Every structure is written in structure tokens, then in C-alpha cells.
Structure 1
Amino acid sequence: MSLILQIETATTSCSVALARVGEVLDFKEINARNIHAEVITLYINELLNNTGISYNDLDAIAVSSGPGSYTGLRIGVSTAKGLCFALDKPLIAVETLEAMADGVINNPGFFADDKTLLCPMIDARRMEVYTALFDTAGNRVRETAADIIDENSFADYLQHHKIIFFGDGAEKCKSVLSNNPNAAFSDDFTNSAIYLTEKAAQKFADGVFEDVAYYEPYYLKDFIAGKKAL
């Protein structure tokens, strides 16, 4: 039995969900920039109130671990760690790109042959994205990387596979990749805490938990602060 609070703040989506034994009970989310710190704890309180569940009823806290927005990840992980410390609950980390792939695979309307690959993309800077490749069973085909996208990106894979690109980094890649007949783009994907459900439930069952005191998000790249406008 597992009752897990799930937190997703790695992208523009600020999302929380409650899942019991791998089934989502309820969720609350908004897709907007620079709002995560303002609403995350409010959303968690509302979610628990709506479901009649208390903080002490929770069995674990799961958080989207990155890569993604530096600030968003700090907010999500800090919130998750604070709850784990206060409630003495275990912390579960789920890589963001893996969760995004699960979100597509588990969509009831998703149909694809076994040669199709999934490419979640998270916006980084300019033409750079955080990305990886997965098959339709959720197996990783290409490791997570920070890539600068050009017309030759994924060329070897696109020769033999249809690739579905999705996520908030995919839109800016259309101009250089959409001419390839094997490149498809999903325009209606929004990241969500509900996509953590499968991996979080499995990690809870296997007892795969993070060290709350020392856990840090998966930034992939060092944070680079921009100059403040005068």
C-alpha cells in the first residue's frame, strides 16, 4: 500500500498529484512561468483538503528530479525535502524526462508501432534542450543530454525510426527538424505530476529512496546567472 504526494516543478508546469498504489486520486496544476514558489504549497494544501487526506497519511513524497529549470527544481526539491523532514517520510526522485515519456505512453489515445521513438524535450537556452530518447515500452534508447538542436540532430535515428518530439522544448525545434518525414511533433503535451505515478509507485515498492539530507536535483548543467537589466 502506498499513498504518495507527487511534485512536478522542473518545467513551466507547477503540478502536484496524489496517487494511491499507482492510481491518481486527484491533482492540481498550472502551466505558467515564475509562479511555482507562489502556489506550490497552496496547491498541496488544497489537494489534501479536497481528498480528505492528512499529511500524516502520506507514505512518501515523490519529486521530479530534473533536468529542467534551475529555479523550478530548487523549489520543488526544497518543498519535497521539507515535507520529508517534517513528516519523517521517505523521498522518491523520478527523472523528469522519464516521467514525460511515461505520460505519453500511458495516454489512452497513444498508438505507435515498436519502431517509433519518443523524444521528450525541455527548453534550456536558445536552441538548446534537455532531451533523451525512449522506445514505446519506456526503455531508454539515448542517454539524457543537453543538446543544441540543428538540422543534423537525431539524423541517425530518423533514418530508421519515426520520432515523436514533445515538451516545452520541442516547439522551437520544429523549424529545423520538421522537414524530415520521420519527425512528428505533439503540440498538446503539458508536463504534469501525474506522470510521476508509475515510476514513483515502483520505487516505493522496491524501497528505492533518496537521502533526504544530501539529495540534490539533477541539474545536468551548472546554473548561469544572467545580467540584470539596468
Structure 2
Amino acid sequence: MANILAIDTSSAWCSVALSLDGQEPAFRHEAVTAGASQLLLPWIEAMLEASNFKLGELDAIAVGIGPGAFTGVRLGVAAAQGLAISQRLPVIPVASLDAIAAQVIQTPAFQKINPKHFMIAVDARMDEVYWVKYEKCEQKLPVRMGNIHLSKPEDIDLTGIQYLAGSAIKEYGERVLQATKPPTSEIAADPDIAVSALGILDVAIQMQQEGRSCDVQDLEPLYIRDKVALTTAERMEAFK
């Protein structure tokens, strides 16, 4: 089994997980405001020290690359780059929605329904949602069906979906749940699940087994939105 450090700061949480030789992962996950930059490296140092393990003994560093909070994603990627360069380690980039999908299939509510197809939809701010469909597999983690999309809440495509999870449900309510045409009440929902380093770790372990780690020079944030602010001219045009 691989020795992998997983980190995620793409949301309002600072999250770190450490898996050593298939043992139960060490895990720390706390809500923060603007303090992730002060917490992340001390947490990693303390976790390694408590496990009597050195950074250079890792097989890889996994990191959440977004989509998510712009500053948080940049922080996580920069930290992973710095740590990996210092020890010449490979990195494993994990999309935040893939990490949530890896977590949600382990929940009792999901397993009770055991849907074949499901969707992760998270709040993208600016009255938009990041979303993507998944197909559940028996022996592996869910397979993403296409690219991650960005749209208005009511414009997501729930066709064929039996289970919906993510922060977009709580943020946009019926605008998301009634996105099908005609609307359906048959979709089960989990509004509370969010990205964490444990989900990053689950995906990273499979990617490592499949030889899908990469060189640190190839590590980049995953941006779905091309721009985060309107120009003055665009704002004036919107009020005409």
C-alpha cells in the first residue's frame, strides 16, 4: 500500500489526511475563515511527527485542485508544490467533486438506495453551481460522466439521476431539485456532504494504483469559471 499525504483547502475547511501502508488514516478537518494558510503546514508537520514518519518517505502528495474557492485552491496547490519539490515527490491532483463522490458512496443513505447514477452539485457562488454526473462501479470508485459543468442552479441536468449530493442543495433549494422538466420528487438528496482530505485520499489511492500521479511541474488548479468579476462596462450594461 502507498504512503500518501492528502490535503484540501478548496472550501471553507482546512483538511489533512495521512495514509501509511493501508492503516486507518490520520485525519484533521476543521472549519476556518481565513486561517488555513497558518494551519496547513503545522498540521502536516504534527501529523507526520505523531506517526513517526518523514515527509521524504511518502510515495506521493495528493491535493484538491478545485473547483472551489479561488484563494483556497491556490493555497492547497502551492503547499503541495512546495512540499513535493523539497523532497522530489510526485503529486496526485484530485478534483473536488470526484472527492465528494468518493465519500458519498460510503454513506448509509446512499448505500440504502444504491443508485446507478448520481450527481454531485456544489455552490459555485455568483448564483451558479458546479455539477457533474457519476456512474457507480462495483469494484472501483465512481466514474465521472463527462466534464464538470458550471451553470445556473435551475439549468443543471438531472435526467436519469437517482441521488443528488452537495452544497448546492442547501444553498439553492428548489431551484436545483426542480431542475428536471417535468420536475420529479424521486431524487434522494444529501445537502450536507462536502469535500474533505479523506475523499481526496480515497481518489488518490486509486489513481496511485493506476499510475496516474504526475510531476510537480504539471500540477495546476482546476478552473471551470473563466472569470470571477465583471468589468465596469459589463456591470453598466447589465443595468440598462
> Which category describes the TM-score, using the shorter chain as reference length?
0.7 to 0.9
Max Rg structure: 2
CA 115–55 in structure 1, closer or farther in 2 if over 3 Å, else same: closer
Query: Unaligned regions of 5+ residues in structure 1, if any?
Result: none
Deviation of 1:208 after TM superposition, in Å, equals 1.9
CA displacement 1:109-158 (0-9 Å, x = unmatched): 631445453322232123201111112331223431111112x5325x1x
Pair 1:206 & 2:210 matched: yes
Pair 1:121 & 2:121 matched: yes
Question: Could you say which structure has the higher strand fraction?
Answer: 1
CA displacement 1:90-115 (0-9 Å, x = unmatched): 11111211111010112356314454
Quote the residue 2:173 is aligned against: 174
Contact 1:61 1:89 in 2 (8 A): yes
Contact 1:112 1:136 in 2 (8 A): no
Deviation of 1:65 after TM superposition, in Å, equals 1.7
Q: Percent identity?
A: 28
What aligned pairs does 1:96-107 form with structure 2 within 5 A after superposition? 96-107=96-107
Contact 1:121 1:170 in 2 (8 A): yes
The alignment's TM-score, normalised by the length of structure 2, stands at 0.82
Report how many aligned residue pairs link the two structures.
Answer: 222
RMSD (CA atoms):
2.4
Query: Unaligned regions of 5+ residues in structure 2, if any?
Result: 179-183, 232-240
What aligned pairs does 1:40-55 form with structure 2 within 5 A after superposition? 40-55=40-55
CA displacement 1:2-31 (0-9 Å, x = unmatched): 100001112222101001355542011112
Q: 3-state SS of the aligned residue for 1:130? A: strand
CA 161–223 in structure 1, closer or farther in 2 if over 3 Å, else same: closer
Q: 3-state SS of the aligned residue for 1:111? A: helix
The alignment's TM-score, normalised by the length of structure 1, stands at 0.85
Separation of aligned partners in 1, 2:22 and 2:136 = 20
Pair 1:153 & 2:156 matched: yes
Q: Which amino acid aligns with 1:110?
A: F
CA 103–177 in structure 1, closer or farther in 2 if over 3 Å, else same: same
Contact 1:127 1:149 in 2 (8 A): yes
